[in-house]
């Protein structure tokens, strides 16, 4: 949990880097999949080509690489992902766990460049 | 263990020893009451009592009232809750007999020579079933304990096999227990003669008219009645085998087995020897405080003689236990009257009586409806102004009983005759129940208490019947008041304006059943369409899988295409079962548990090649653990090539059909259970439902397939199949109930078609068949009316839905393997599909691989077998 995705962090170019993950059309809507970026497992969720989330694929509670296989949904206005193991629910934007206070899921900014999804990770 | 001298001093020197002699329902209730209430002393310390129960039988306390269920099934009768036995200050010594009581020294001597001191002693020794002193009495059996019942059942089966005809059983005693025994034995296939000394059955509870009506109904079930006479002699051959019973009226009945059930005799011998006062006709005399003549000695249950007699009913026993618990803990509760209301079902015949059922009081009026031809008898006993209810009897139709019994001693709001449903053919008049009326006499729960639980006065509001029963305890013993508890629940919720929320989650304000019907009627096929029409938001891990299951039940489409993949629950999404480390287990279908050696060898080779941990499941299948997501297609290609299909262990769908080997091999089998199991498994495979469901098929009444522990249980009979429904194991085990008997193959399948489809249409999400039936108004009777009598006119539609499922079935793994687009969903990483899914270290144990524990992972000495030795996708063969 070294990174907070704020614009301030963007300015600090030495700490982060945008990595190409995969073409947008590789992902089915609301069907998460994992990508391997510099040895790190990251789960991608495409809601629409304009709304793509990236979080750590490692379940913070169970330490297993499964988050990409959870169910995407919403709680009120917040987009969520539920762990496929024990169903803890996380805010996809902030990583905050909505069912177990204090637990956090690492999140990463995303963007689409030329039809390819990019994820910003620490460099 | 209690009395442990090393207990910390916090337990305090003020702890006292309570010894209970006897381990039946009364003892259980007392222990449960002490366990739940004994939480502190006046000094604010811990519990006041250490409790030791001396139980003669080798069982924890069990529900003797339900013995007849044990006669016809393998029901576990252990009384709930069992939690008191887990307490370290409560001990039950089963198989242990008390042999002497010294009230001076306050010690109980046990059969093994040891003794135990007490501060307080409770006699809950119950009673024994007497056999009269007639010639040959030593050859007779009784109907009292689990051992008695298990023996009778085994004998009836053994005798039938030995003689090649039904066993002939003579049952002496036409009271409650005798009728239960006779009915159960007849259900087992025995030819039963029932001998009763009275002029009509249940002569202690019923008047002549009711007894006659009951007699006609019982005779219709095939039991032969011999009234007004009693056995004079049991005849046996030289080897001691029973051959006949000679009756007082000089008739001789050929019999293989004689069972006496002529009453109860209080087990007061220890008390007599200890000098404690007993009654003229036996039983330890108690006062309203349940104390005996000796200080610090109490008596409860059947052994207690209150106002001159002992009572063999569970409600008074429970009431006495509550009085003693209250008094031990400093209260002043009193036992004031015996509630001898009775309701039971004998061989399918409803019988109930309560209050002054025979109208023996002065100046009482009896309002009677009798229809001898139909075997109906209903009677109310009221005061001479026809207003106050004093008692009643119901035979053949006991519908009004549960609502009327609480009104005993109160004014009726309507004409007495309006409550006799048999006369009017209408539902019983609506009754306004006062708060202090008793709804559950077994557990002494008043109408007001039930209402309080519904309103949430004691914690969370109970808004469904199951939680209301478990919180209030109403209806948890004999069950006769459950329908009334349900009515009170509905009335209360309606009165409070509470619409019981059946909303699935924040996105769907309606129940699964309503979503199911709307989807069906509107012909909706995608989640976006469904949530757009019926809900709001973007869905969640609750409603998405529910909608996916509904769509799968209605259309036999591949479950991961067309946007459905993201709706599926964890296991469905990968068509495999996710384990705790994110790897998967694979379960090929092995219909009926039958498998060729060649196919076994394929499973063995696959497991060996992929380093999979192998275990036989509870459902006669083989589970292969530890596969990575990206390995699943390769593993399945080999399995599918060898003729395997998905076992759908991952789905809320049919799991397995368990079977015994049946008549093909077994000496006792009467039908081909394996063929039937395979037939059923192939028919219902792939059918998705609100919850997983299982089948069992047994080839004879020995029930080796444990079919009654399944959602659908099929048990062979000489004539065909008995169909049971609503059983399950797991967290809340339930025994399946008999839906229909002696069905031929075709009818059996037709009924199962209807049953499953009705369940799928109307159950709540994640609701198993047992719970579903429990919550259906009318329970199994309602199910029977829909499935067998087709009262809703749904049968043809339900069968057509099932036919569509059977027609549209396709193995999900075969369908996956032939489509590259579908295979993409099993890649490890979108950007690196060649790189294996990471992070599955293994250690070796007993010759197989398993995930390491956290401690092992942290320990550098642990030998990890790492991933690369396991073939990567495409790397194998």
Cα→Cα distances B362→A20, B366, B388, B390, B408, Å: 96, 12, 13, 11, 16
- Cα separation, B441 vs B342, in Å, equals 10
Task: Tell me what percent of the residues of chain B surpass a pLDDT of 70.
Answer: 93
**In the predicted structure, residue B498 carries a pLDDT above the cut 60:** yes
- Cα separation, B674 vs B666, in Å, equals 11
Cα→Cα distances B500→B316, B408, B490, B542, B550, Å: 35, 32, 9, 19, 22
Q: Which residues of B touch A75 (CB under 8 A)?
A: 506, 540
Contact yes or no for A29 and B830 at CB 8 A: no
Min CA distance, A14 vs chain B (Å)? 25
DSSP single-letter state for residue B637 = H
> pLDDT confidence of B46, banded at 50, 70, 90?
low
Q: Which of B209, B171, B174 is nearest to B192 (CA)?
A: B171
- Cα separation, B615 vs B442, in Å, equals 45
Is B459 or B648 the better-scoring residue by pLDDT? B648
Q: Which of B543, B544, B546, B522 is nearest to B533 (CA)?
A: B522
Q: B757 φ, ψ to 5°?
A: -70, -35
By Cβ distance, the residue of B541, B827, B831 closest to A71 is B541
Using an 8 Å Cβ cutoff, are B489 and B465 in contact?
yes
Q: What are B's interface residues with A at a Cβ cutoff of 8 A?
A: 506-507, 537-541, 544-545, 563, 565-567, 569-570, 573-574, 578, 580-582, 629, 825, 827-832, 835, 837-839
Q: Which of B116-130, B214-228, B468-482 has the lowest mean pLDDT?
A: B468-482
Is B361 or B49 the better-scoring residue by pLDDT? B49
Contact yes or no for A62 and B580 at CB 8 A: yes
Cα(first)–Cα(last) distance of chain A, in Å?
14
Q: B580 φ, ψ to 5°?
A: -65, -20
Q: Helix or strand or coil: residue B305? A: strand
> pLDDT confidence of B505, banded at 50, 70, 90?
confident
CA B638 from centroid of its chain's CA atoms: 42
Whether chain B has a CB inside 8 Å of the CB on A36: the answer is yes
Contact yes or no for A65 and B566 at CB 8 A: no
Q: Which of B520, B575, B509 is nearest to B543 (CA)?
A: B509
- Cα separation, B688 vs B550, in Å, equals 8
Q: Give buried/exposed letters for B179-209 (b at 16+ CB in 10 A, else e).
A: bbbbbbbbbbebbbbbbbbbebbbbebbbeb
Average pLDDT over residues B625-647: 96
**A43: closest chain B residue by CA:** B829
E strands, B438-548, where? 438-440, 445-446
Report pLDDT for B473. 84
pLDDT in tens, B428-477: 455 667 888 888 877 788 888 998 898 888 877 888 777 788 788 887 77
Contact yes or no for B540 and A26 at CB 8 A: no
Report pLDDT for B839. 65
Q: Which of B124, B122, B118, B123 is nearest to B106 (CA)?
A: B118
pLDDT in tens, B141-192: 999 999 999 999 999 999 998 998 999 999 999 988 898 899 889 888 899 9
Q: Which residues of B touch A97 (CB under 8 A)?
A: none
Question: Tokens representing B827?
Answer: 């890649």
Question: Tokens representing B509?
Answer: 């304000």
Q: Which of the residues B543, B558, B568, B570 would you substitute to probe the A interface, choosing the one with the greatest number of A C-beta atoms within 10 Å?
A: B570
**In the predicted structure, residue B96 carries a pLDDT above the cut 60:** yes
DSSP single-letter state for residue B772 = H
**In the predicted structure, residue B688 carries a pLDDT above the cut 80:** yes
- Cα separation, B378 vs B374, in Å, equals 12
Report pLDDT for B275. 95
Task: Tell me what percent of the residues of chain B surpass a pLDDT of 90.
Answer: 53
Whether chain B has a CB inside 8 Å of the CB on A111: the answer is no
Whether chain B has a CB inside 8 Å of the CB on A26: the answer is yes
Using an 8 Å Cβ cutoff, are B427 and B373 in contact?
no
Nearest 5 degrees, angle CA B129-CA B132-CA B138? 85
The answer to whether the pTM exceeds 0.80 is no
Instruction: Please list the residues that pair with B578 across neighbouring strands.
Output: B584
Whether chain B has a CB inside 8 Å of the CB on A9: the answer is no
Q: Parallel, antiparallel, or unpaired for β B737-743 and B843-845?
A: unpaired
Min CA distance, B311 vs chain A (Å)? 52
Q: Which of B725, B692, B731 is nearest to B710 (CA)?
A: B725
Find the radius of gyration of the CA atoms of chain A: 14
**A86: closest chain B residue by CA:** B580
Contact yes or no for B830 and A27 at CB 8 A: yes
- Cα separation, B191 vs B710, in Å, equals 30
Q: Which of A58-72, B382-396, B751-765 has the lowest mean pLDDT?
A: B382-396
DSSP single-letter state for residue B738 = E
By Cβ distance, the residue of A47, A85, A89 closest to B580 is A85
Q: Which of B340, B354, B453 is nearest to B398 (CA)?
A: B354
By Cβ distance, the residue of A34, A64, A73 closest to B540 is A73
Average pLDDT over residues B379-385: 88
> pLDDT confidence of B13, banded at 50, 70, 90?
low
Biggest CA-to-CA distance, chain B: 95
Report pLDDT for B717. 92
Question: Tokens representing B675?
Answer: 């063929």
Question: What is the pLDDT of chain B when averaged over all its residues?
Answer: 87
Average pLDDT over residues B77-98: 88
Average pLDDT over residues B604-617: 95
Contact yes or no for A73 and B829 at CB 8 A: no
Cα→Cα distances A12→A15, A91, B582, Å: 6, 25, 36
> pLDDT confidence of B872, banded at 50, 70, 90?
very low
Helix (H) or strand (E) holding B221: none
- Cα separation, B21 vs B299, in Å, equals 9
Report pLDDT for B457. 85
Question: Tokens representing B668?
Answer: 């006792």
Using an 8 Å Cβ cutoff, are B564 and B580 in contact?
no
Q: Which of the residues A24, A26, A29, A31 would you substitute to probe the B interface, choosing the one with the greatest number of B C-beta atoms within 10 Å?
A: A31
HSE (CB half, 13 Å, CA atoms) of B40? Answer: 4
Question: Tokens representing B569?
Answer: 């629950």
């Amino acid at each position: 949990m070294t990174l907070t995705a704020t614009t301030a962090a963007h300015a600090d170019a030495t700490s982060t880097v945008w990595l190409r993950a995969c073409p947008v059309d590789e992902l089915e809507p609301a069907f998460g999949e994992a990508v391997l970026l510099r040895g790190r497992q990251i789960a991608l969720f495409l809601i629409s080509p304009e709304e793509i989330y990236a979080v750590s694929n490692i379940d913070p509670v169970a330490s297993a690489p499964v988050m990409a296989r959870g169910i995407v949904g919403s709680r009120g206005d917040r987009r969520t992902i539920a762990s496929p193991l024990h169903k803890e629910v996380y805010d996809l934007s902030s990583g905050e766990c909505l069912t177990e206070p204090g637990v956090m899921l690492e999140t990463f900014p995303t963007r689409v460049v030329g039809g390819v999804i990019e994820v910003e990770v620490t460099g | 263990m209690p009395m442990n001298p090393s207990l910390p001093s916090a337990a305090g020197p003020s702890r006292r020893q309570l010894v209970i002699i006897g381990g039946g329902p009364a003892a259980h209730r007392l222990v449960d009451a002490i366990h739940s209430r004994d939480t502190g002393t006046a000094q604010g310390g811990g519990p006041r009592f250490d409790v030791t129960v001396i139980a003669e039988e080798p069982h924890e306390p069990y529900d003797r009232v339900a013995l007849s269920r044990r006669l016809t099934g393998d029901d576990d009768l252990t009384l709930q809750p069992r939690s008191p036995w887990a307490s370290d200050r409560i001990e039950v010594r089963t198989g242990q007999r008390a042999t002497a009581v010294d009230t001076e020294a306050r010690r109980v001597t046990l059969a093994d020579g040891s003794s135990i001191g007490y501060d307080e002693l409770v006699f809950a020794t119950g009673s024994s079933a007497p056999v009269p002193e007639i010639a040959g009495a030593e050859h007779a059996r009784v109907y009292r304990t689990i051992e008695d019942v298990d023996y009778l059942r085994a004998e009836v089966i053994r005798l039938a096999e030995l003689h090649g005809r039904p066993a002939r059983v003579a049952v002496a005693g036409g009271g409650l227990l005798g009728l239960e025994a006779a009915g159960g034995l007849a259900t087992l296939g025995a030819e039963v003669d029932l001998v009763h000394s009275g002029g009509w059955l249940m002569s202690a509870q019923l008047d002549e008219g009711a007894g006659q009506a009951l007699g006609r109904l019982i005779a219709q079930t095939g039991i032969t009645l011999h009234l007004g006479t009693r056995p004079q002699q049991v005849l046996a051959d030289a080897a001691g085998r029973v051959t006949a019973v000679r009756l007082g009226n000089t008739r001789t009945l050929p019999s293989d087995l004689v069972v006496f059930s002529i009453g109860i005799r209080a087990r007061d011998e220890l008390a007599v020897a200890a000098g404690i006062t007993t009654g003229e006709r036996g039983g330890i005399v108690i006062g309203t405080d349940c104390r005996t003549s000796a200080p610090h000695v109490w008596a409860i249950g059947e052994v207690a003689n209150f106002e001159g007699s002992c009572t063999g009913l569970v409600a008074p026993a429970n009431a006495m236990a509550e009085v003693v618990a209250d008094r031990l803990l400093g209260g002043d509760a009193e036992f004031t009257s015996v509630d001898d209301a009775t309701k039971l079902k004998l061989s399918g015949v409803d019988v109930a009586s309560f209050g002054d059922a025979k109208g023996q009081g002065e100046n009482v009026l009896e309002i009677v409806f009798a229809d001898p031809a139909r075997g109906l008898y209903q009677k109310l006993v009221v005061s001479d102004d026809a207003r106050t209810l004093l008692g009643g009897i119901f035979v053949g139709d006991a519908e009004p009983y549960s609502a009327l019994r609480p009104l005993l001693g109160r004014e009726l709001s309507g004409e007495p005759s309006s409550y006799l449903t048999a006369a009017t053919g209408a539902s019983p008049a609506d009754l306004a129940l006062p708060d202090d009326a008793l709804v559950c006499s077994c557990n002494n729960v008043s109408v007001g208490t039930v209402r309080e639980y519904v309103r949430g006065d004691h914690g969370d509001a109970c808004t469904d019947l199951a939680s209301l029963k478990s919180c209030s305890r109403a209806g948890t013993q004999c069950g006769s008041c459950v329908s009334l508890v349900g009515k009170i629940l509905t009335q209360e919720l309606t009165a409070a304006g509470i619409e019981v929320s059946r909303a699935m989650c924040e996105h769907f304000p309606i129940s699964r059943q309503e979503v199911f019907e709307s989807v069906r009627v509107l012909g909706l096929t995608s989640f976006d369409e469904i949530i757009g029409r019926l809900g709001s938001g973007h869905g969640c891990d609750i409603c998405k899988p529910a909608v996916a299951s509904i769509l799968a039940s209605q259309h036999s489409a591949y479950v991961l295409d067309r946007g459905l993949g993201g709706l599926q629950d964890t296991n469905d999404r990968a068509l495999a079962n996710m384990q705790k480390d994110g790897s998967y287990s694979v379960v090929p279908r092995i219909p009926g548990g039958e498998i060729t050696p060649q196919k076994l060898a394929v499973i063995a080779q696959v497991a060996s090649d992929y380093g999979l941990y192998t275990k036989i499941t509870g459902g006669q299948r083989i589970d292969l653990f530890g596969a990575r997501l990206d390995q699943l297609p390769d593993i399945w290609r080999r399995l599918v090539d060898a003729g395997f299909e998905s076992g759908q262990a991952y789905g809320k769908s049919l799991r397995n059909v368990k079977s015994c080997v049946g008549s093909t091999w077994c000496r006792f089998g009467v039908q081909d259970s394996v063929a039937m199991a395979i037939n059923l498994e192939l028919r219902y495979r792939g059918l998705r439902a609100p919850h997983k469901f299982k089948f069992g098929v047994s080839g004879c009444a020995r029930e080796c397939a444990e079919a009654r522990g399944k959602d659908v249980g099929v048990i062979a009979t000489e004539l065909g199949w008995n169909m049971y429904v609503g059983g399950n194991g797991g967290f809340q085990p339930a025994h399946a109930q008999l839906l229909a008997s002696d069905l031929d193959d075709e009818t059996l399948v037709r009924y199962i078609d209807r049953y499953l489809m009705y369940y799928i249409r109307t159950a709540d999400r994640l609701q198993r068949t047992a719970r579903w039936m429990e919550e259906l108004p009318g329970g199994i009777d309602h199910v029977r009316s829909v499935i067998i009598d087709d009262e809703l006119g749904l049968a043809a539609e339900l069968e057509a839905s099932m036919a569509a499922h059977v027609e549209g079935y396709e193995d999900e793994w075969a369908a996956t393997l032939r489509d590259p687009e579908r295979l993409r969903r099993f890649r490890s990483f979108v950007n690196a599909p060649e790189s294996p899914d990471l992070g599955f270290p293994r250690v070796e144990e007993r010759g197989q691989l398993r995930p390491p524990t956290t401690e092992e992972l942290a320990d550098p000495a642990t030998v990890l077998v790492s991933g690369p030795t396991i073939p990567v996708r495409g790397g194998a063969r």
